[in-house]
Each structure stands twice: as structure tokens, then as C-alpha cells.
Amino acid sequence: MSLELLTILDKNGKAQKGKDPNLPPEELKKLYRLMVATRALDDRGLALQRQGRIGFYLQSTGQEASHIGAAYAMKASDWLFPAYRQPGILLLRDVPYEKIIAEWFGNSGDTSKGRQMPVHYSFRQANFVSISSPIGTQLTHAAGAGMAAKARGDDTVFMTFCGDGGTSSNDFHSGLNFAAVYKAPVVFICENNGWAISVASKNQTASESMAIKADAYGMPGVRVDGNDILAVYRVCKEAIDRARRGEGPTLVETVTYRIASHSSSDDADRYRDKKEFEAWQKKDPIQRFKTYLKHKKLWNEAFEKECVVGAKEEIMAATKVAEALPPMGPESMFDDVYMNQTPGLKAQRKELHDLMLKGGVGAEIGHFPL
């Protein structure tokens, strides 16, 4: 148990002596590209929502180091049970932009067939389990999957995320309790970004920290600077290795800040102190990592342009492809209800098909209303 805020990069972007994980240069540059691309993806998503082209968006701005650093420590065969502010993991796991953006539109390119809210991704090929809106439910899912993997003898670790508000959910207790009792190979990440929508952390828990909650469940708890990608990587790598050795779960609290509003439906200026916001803006995880790369002589203007312009161009091209895809047909509502369609469903599907042929059904429905 460590309540100290663990960090590697100082305010000048230099790694503290003996703490640098010494990742290869190309891997460091890859992490920077991912962080920059994640922010560009978020900017595009919010812009599309404001233009009325998608119905809803939720950003991870300011939290790129927290989730990318955590997931980077995993093997490709490990599984993720995310919350809804970890889009960089999809880029880390090579999910195509077109697939991500098609999910925003909920059209025929969407792996969820338009049945989920925007930014509630599910990508089986990336071992990325469906995001669910109810707060905390993914924690019990990850615990159960970890218990099953342990029973099967699989060499698999499961990582799951929640925000600081998620620690007040029933599923936080259930998930951590079961995982600890059964020593399931799970790493619980609490991204403490200061706000549970409009409720400040201090108003929803009296605990000294989120990490200290681990003590009651009989697992290690660690606090780490969530805007320091190297520190997050190092702490999560240790937790993952511990889980893989059969030593059970760990709770990692990444202390970060939600620079954006909660979602495109929220206005954080109505409840958030301006001075607090400005102070955290100066701790931008991308700028901090850039300074580190400069010290390592791995960053220059050409590399910056490659990262920023390259990401924007790819995202714009992918948006054009994804937006042009047709919507899911109304008849798709009968798919996936049962493995084998019942006679009743077959009859209803035919009835709908006949109505569509007559022009009575299938008009434009519009976007998700949030």
C-alpha cells in the first residue's frame, strides 16, 4: 500500500534518477503519437456533435496518459473492461479509425449495429469489452472474467477502469471483494479526474484517497500521477506482472483531471472553479511527455507535424468513409435475439419487410437524442 503520489517526470519533464523505465526510443515515440492521435480523435468527435452530425460525444482530454500508459503495459492477449473515457486504447490495439467513427454514427459500419450510444465501443478483435453506461458494472464483469480465467489456468490478465465516482457504486464493492477473495488476475484502474459529472471527489467520498480503499478488500492500492505516462506504465506493469504470477488484484488510482466537460451534454463552466481548471491545464500530459522527449532528443518540429497533421488527415479521411455508410435497416432488430429465429419472429420480420416494400416503414429516424 502506497498513499504517496508516485511520479517519474518532474515539472521540467526530466525523469527522476533510477525511476525511468527506459523504454526503447521507437516505443516512446509511439506513445506520443497515440496520445496526440487520441486528442485529435476527441476534437473531431466533439466537432461532429456540435455540427449535428452525431448525437453525443464524450472526451478523454487530459487523461490520455492515464489510460494509454496503463493499457500499454498489457499483452495483446489480455482483456480490457473499459469505462467510457479510454479511446486511446483502441488506437493502441490497432482498431481502424473507420470502425471507431462508424460507431459514433451508429450505422451499418458499427460493430454494435447502431444499438449502443455513441462512444460505447465494443471490439472483440481487440479484446475490448462493450462499454456500459451504468456506472461500475464493468468492475464485476472483469472480476468474473478473471475468476473464470484463473479456474481455467489461462495466462490472461484483465484490466478495468472506473472514475472516482465509480468507487461509490455497488459494483465497486462487489468487483473488488470477489477479485480479492479469489485472487483473480485483475487490475482495477480508478481514474480520479476530480469530478463525478458535476460532483467533486471530496463531496462523494470521505476517504483519504481512492487507493486506500484497497486496504479493506485485502489488495494493494497505489496512487500514481495520472498525467505522467511513464509513471502510469511502470505502476501498471508491476500490477499486471503481479496478477499474472497468481498474486491477485491491485487497485491503481491515477490522479488526473478532466479538462473537458463530462460530455457534449454538459457545461463544466457552471460548476467548476476557473483557477482549478487553469492550474490543471498547465499539467497537460501531452506537453509534459513532449518535454521529456525533447530531453531525450526524440522530438523535433518535423516529428510533431508528422504526429499532429498525420492524425488529423487520417481521422478526416476515416470520417468521410464512415459517414457515407448506410444506416442499419429496421429489419436488423430481429437479428441476434435468438441463435435460431423463432417462427413468430420470422413472421414479424416478413411483415415488416412487406411494409417496407410498400413504403410504410423505414424513413429516416435521426440521431440519438442526447
Which residues are designated catalytic? Answer: 258, 262, 271
Q: What are phi and psi of 191, to 5 degrees?
A: -85, 95
Question: Which cell is 150 given?
Answer: 484463473
| Among the listed residues 122, 154, 160, 155, the one whose alpha carbon sits nearest the alpha carbon of residue 140 | 160
- Longest CA pairwise span in the chain (Å): 74
Helix (H, G, I), strand (E, B) or coil at 22: coil
Q: How far is CA 32 from CA 189, 191, 230, 292, 313, in A?
A: 21, 20, 11, 11, 17
Q: What are phi and psi of 357, to 5 degrees?
A: -60, -30
| Residue partners of 188: CB distance under 8 A and separation at least 6 | 139, 142, 160, 162, 175, 176, 179, 249, 250, 251, 252
Round to whole Å and give the CA distance between 225 and 106: 35
Round to whole Å and give the CA distance between 231 and 264: 30
β-pairing, 199-200 with 2-6? Answer: unpaired
DSSP track, 104-159: HHTBTT-TTTT-S-TT---BGGGTBPPP-SSTTHHHHHHHHHHHHHHHHT----EE
Q: Are 98 and 24 in contact (CB under 8 A)?
A: no
Q: Are 345 and 334 in contact (CB under 8 A)?
A: yes
Round to whole Å and give the CA distance between 352 and 319: 31
- State the CB neighbour count (10 A cutoff) for residue 242: 18
233, exposed or middle or buried, with CB in 10 Å at 0-12, 13-18, 19+? buried
